[in-house]
Structure 1
């Protein structure tokens, strides 16, 4: 099989770019299990931090307008009735978007990508797909970040948040969560919902605020990225830091207001400005010694320790990795998301060093689609 563009991945960034590429006349083939990370590595009863204004549709008003807001109207849903937005509603929206755009992902997985003139993707069934260009949209599942001491916790008594998506087995159990951002406190709320006996949340910073915030400050930043080629990378370091700090304040230091009522005070204890010093485990307990002088005896440890880009951790890129310039785990990208290997493009979380922190969220999907397709057609 041969195609002009092979899109590896079937998540939001892949859907957005594949739909826009097809609408601009590029023969496009998508491979991957649709929304696999969202379906399999996020809890079914979690909520989005964003609203219906964060769309996947790069064509927007100048085409069919298959936006998230349009989905709400088509589905007969009032956004006010689903605030915050359940993940199930977002997943239903992505299925609707795929149908509207005619996207039918090939659910085979790429085992290896090579280049000999054209790119050749060897699939998990041994077949191959040749392509002139490849857009890789590696999901964050490849990039889980863990503290050095995590291996001191027995494997059957530890999980990263991306691995812990069902909570009934932790009913009546004692759980320590390492981390203090949205995922840490949302997992604490979910553990409360499912009957955990005790939840200790340990983090290095002060306890975050829980209140409504506005993400509208991101809108002009995304528009500027579209208007000025290489905008983020060309910003003075001081301005980048200022924007990153604002993003950190809204997206990390402030957590969603709807979490607070679910954090039962008799269950959840925060340990702010605290780190784990040592771990001991026996048949009964995992005991964490923490820097406030206390000890936590728990049954399970959850690492809400986030993600760190590491392109070498994406298995299917092993065959071309030596041809890709990488800095601190991030691919070095052109203003159109092209790597140093001509014809290979990367969007999503792995692009945030060159495009800004908002490109790790679905907010960046339509603008990245526009930029990457514009580069392909140049």
Structure 2
């Protein structure tokens, strides 16, 4: 009996990878809650920052792009750079992609993965089933990777939560809970700015606190993009073009450079279409840094250092930390201790070789955990175009 490949995760990277593996005739079992990060951990009413051209799941068969879904669903085609994608449409597209190509998705959780004696992998599911896979692809997306800076943790003794003084932006689907409240959003990226706008539109009084060099700014609309530079999914620039279409040599850069570029390239910047909704509705306070946070009578108080060198206390009913995500193998507790200790890591992220394979033969990572090896494009859906066929090709050659 041919052992299957296990794909853990049913978001864009998991679905795309599984479609490529299946197209090669490789038996695949896919596990996870379909599009869960997009459905449960993004705010209702959110619009995608990425353009339609950068928002299709890569697939070896024609007819499965976002535009194809629009045609099948009988809705207006989203194809130009000026077309903005509602998150609900993107979720529906992922569900359609799964129904078309991976109808046997198993909506169960993988409890543990470890090496077995035959050189494969022993998996246990929360259904109680155990089985052996010849290879494992970890495509768990943002799950468990939300990052709360240490300076904010003082106001969240039991961890960030919607009912605590401090929460993470990923913990909010319905922002109407803040109607009539004073809300501070810490951050300056798209997540922070759009969370602030949606909360303000729901009736909250919102202040964005940006730190350090993270000044609040917005991108240029498509018609103002420079015309003499190559196009990329993220705008016109030689660096963005290279990082999008030629990330092959990225993993050979010095470790410090790789991690710096993942943080800084396509860093904090609001979408061009958000500016008009933001300005005049959301207050902005730019500070040097947040020094500490505490809870007083159930409400958060931030102590910040201003750019002038002084300190100030900021009070609100709640603080939302739109402070992004940080990959840490230690947070992937479904990976057995033996596997985690054998993995070569770089600042908590798996160090990947050709074809997205880790230092443990047969164990692959794709999506955000691959960004430190293959660059910032792995933070975005369009990264499936590069990652999925190469991962599937390497796996087929190594385990065919």
Task: Tell me if both proteins adopt one fold, taking TM over 0.5 as the criterion.
Answer: yes
Asked whether 1:193 is paired with 2:201, we answer: yes
> Do the aligned partners of 1:3 and 1:29 also contact (CA within 8 Å) in 2?
no
- In the aligned structure 2, how far is the partner of 1:332 from the partner of 1:172? 47
- In the aligned structure 1, how far is the partner of 2:79 from the partner of 2:340? 46
> Do the aligned partners of 1:182 and 1:252 also contact (CA within 8 Å) in 2?
no
Deviation at 1:72, TM superposition (A): 2.4
- In the aligned structure 2, how far is the partner of 1:241 from the partner of 1:311? 16
Q: Of the candidates 300, 304, 314, which is equivalent to residue 318 of structure 2?
A: 300
Summarize the alignment of residues 41-190 of structure 1 with structure 2, pairs less than 5 Å apart: 41-54=41-54, 55-59=56-60, 63-76=61-74, 77-79=76-78, 83-116=83-116, 117=118, 118-154=120-156, 156-190=164-198
Q: Of the candidates 266, 275, 278, which is equivalent to residue 263 of structure 1?
A: 278
- In the aligned structure 2, how far is the partner of 1:96 from the partner of 1:231? 34
- In the aligned structure 1, how far is the partner of 2:134 from the partner of 2:282? 53
Q: Of the candidates 317, 322, 330, which is equivalent to residue 312 of structure 1?
A: 330
- In the aligned structure 2, how far is the partner of 1:27 from the partner of 1:281? 52
Asked whether 1:234 is paired with 2:252, we answer: yes
Asked whether 1:224 is paired with 2:246, we answer: yes
Deviation above 3 Å: which 4+ runs of structure 1? 216-223, 234-242
Deviation at 1:180, TM superposition (A): 1.1
- With over 3 angstroms needed to count, the CA separation of the structure-2 counterparts of 1:106 and 1:317, relative to structure 1, is same
- In the aligned structure 1, how far is the partner of 2:274 from the partner of 2:392? 38
Aligned to 2:230: none
Aligned to 1:368: 387
> Do the aligned partners of 1:57 and 1:65 also contact (CA within 8 Å) in 2?
no
Aligned to 1:31: 31
Q: Of the candidates 202, 209, 221, which is equivalent to residue 212 of structure 1?
A: 221
Alignment: residue pair count: 367
- In the aligned structure 2, how far is the partner of 1:206 from the partner of 1:338? 34
- In the aligned structure 2, how far is the partner of 1:221 from the partner of 1:306? 21
**Deviations 1:293-335 (Å, cap 9, x if unpaired)?**
4321111011111111101101111342122111211111111
SS of residue matched to 1:209: coil
> Do the aligned partners of 1:167 and 1:190 also contact (CA within 8 Å) in 2?
yes
Q: Of the candidates 202, 205, 208, which is equivalent to residue 210 of structure 2?
A: 202
Q: Which one is further off, 100-109 or 76-85?
A: 76-85
- In the aligned structure 2, how far is the partner of 1:80 from the partner of 1:99? 22
Aligned to 1:252: 267
> Do the aligned partners of 1:188 and 1:199 also contact (CA within 8 Å) in 2?
yes
Report the TM-score, using the length of structure 2 for normalisation.
0.84
- With over 3 angstroms needed to count, the CA separation of the structure-2 counterparts of 1:206 and 1:314, relative to structure 1, is closer
- In the aligned structure 2, how far is the partner of 1:240 from the partner of 1:114? 29
- With over 3 angstroms needed to count, the CA separation of the structure-2 counterparts of 1:239 and 1:288, relative to structure 1, is closer
Q: Of the candidates 334, 343, 346, which is equivalent to residue 324 of structure 1?
A: 343
Q: Which one is further off, 230-239 or 359-368?
A: 230-239
Deviation at 1:238, TM superposition (A): 11
Deviation at 1:270, TM superposition (A): 1.2
> Do the aligned partners of 1:192 and 1:262 also contact (CA within 8 Å) in 2?
no
Deviation at 1:89, TM superposition (A): 0.6
- In the aligned structure 1, how far is the partner of 2:375 from the partner of 2:363? 20
> Do the aligned partners of 2:147 and 2:324 also contact (CA within 8 Å) in 1?
yes
For structure 2, which runs of at least 5 residues remain unmatched after alignment?
Answer: 159-163, 226-233
Deviation at 1:284, TM superposition (A): 6.3
SS of residue matched to 1:19: helix
Report the TM-score, using the length of structure 1 for normalisation.
0.89
Aligned to 2:305: 291
Deviation at 1:142, TM superposition (A): 1.7
